[in-house]
Amino acid sequence: MTIELGNERRKAVVLVSGGLDSATVLALAREEGFDCYAISFLYGQRHVAELNAARRIARELGAREHREFPIDLGAFGGSALTDHTIDVPTERSDEIPITYVPARNTVFLSLALGWAEVLAARDLFIGANAVDYSGYPDCRPAFIEAFETLANVATAMGVEGERVGVHAPLIHWTKAEIIERGIDLGVDYAMTVSCYQADEEGRACGVCDSCVIRREGFETAGVPDPTRYR
C-alpha cells in the first residue's frame, strides 16, 4: 500500500540507531509507502560502530536522506552508555538498568520532530519495544502516546490541523517476531549492531543485556544469528 498526499508520497522521519529494531522499523515504513528520512545521533555513546551501522542501514534500506545530529548527552552522565567510568552490567535486573540514558528518546524524538516540520512530514517512526527489552521508561506505550500528544500541541503542523503521528510498530512484538518480519522485508541483520559495548569494528561482547536479548530472539525465531562476536 502506497501512502500518498495529493500526487506525492507521504514523508516520514525514522529514528535509525544502527540496531536490529530500528532497521526493521525503517523497512516497515518503506513497505507502507513512506518516503523515509533517517535520523541518527552522535550523543556521546561508548562507540561509533552503531553510527557506521546506521549509515549502512539507511543506504541499503532506501532512505531518501540520512542526517546525523551531534548532541552530548554524556555531559550529564548517569548512564553506562555515556559514562566510561560506569561498567556495562552483564546480569539481568528487574530494576531500570544503569544503561538507561536519561531522557534519550525524548530528546531524539524532539529533534526528529523539528526536522519533520521542516520536511512537512507528519509521521515519526521509532523502534521502541516494550516486550523483549531492558525496561527503559521511554520505550513504553504510555511514553509514545504522551509524546504524540505533545507533538500535536507543540508544532505548527499540529495546531493547524495537520495531525502528527508517532509510530512505534514494534512496541508489542517479541524480538523473535521482529526478526521474522524483518527477514520477510529483506533486512540483512548482519549489518546491524545492538551491543552496548561493541568494539570499533562492530563486534559484540555477547554478555550485555542487549546482546542476550538479541541472541535469544534469533534462537526463538529459529534463524541463524549473524552477529559478529569478539
CATH code, 70:
3.40.50.620
Residue 33: domain span: 4-221
In a domain, 228, yes or no: no
In a domain, 167, yes or no: yes
In a domain, 124, yes or no: yes
Q: What is the pLDDT of residues 46-80, one digit of tens each?
A: 888 999 999 999 999 999 999 999 999 989 889 99
Question: How many folded domains does the chain comprise?
Answer: 1
In a domain, 173, yes or no: yes
In a domain, 74, yes or no: yes
In this prediction the pTM is: 0.93
Report the C-alpha gap between 21 and 25 in whole angstroms: 6
Check: CB of residue 111 under 8 Å from CB of residue 39: yes
In a domain, 226, yes or no: no
In a domain, 230, yes or no: no
Q: What is the pLDDT of residues 135-183, one digit of tens each?
A: 899 999 999 999 999 999 999 999 999 999 999 999 999 999 999 999 9
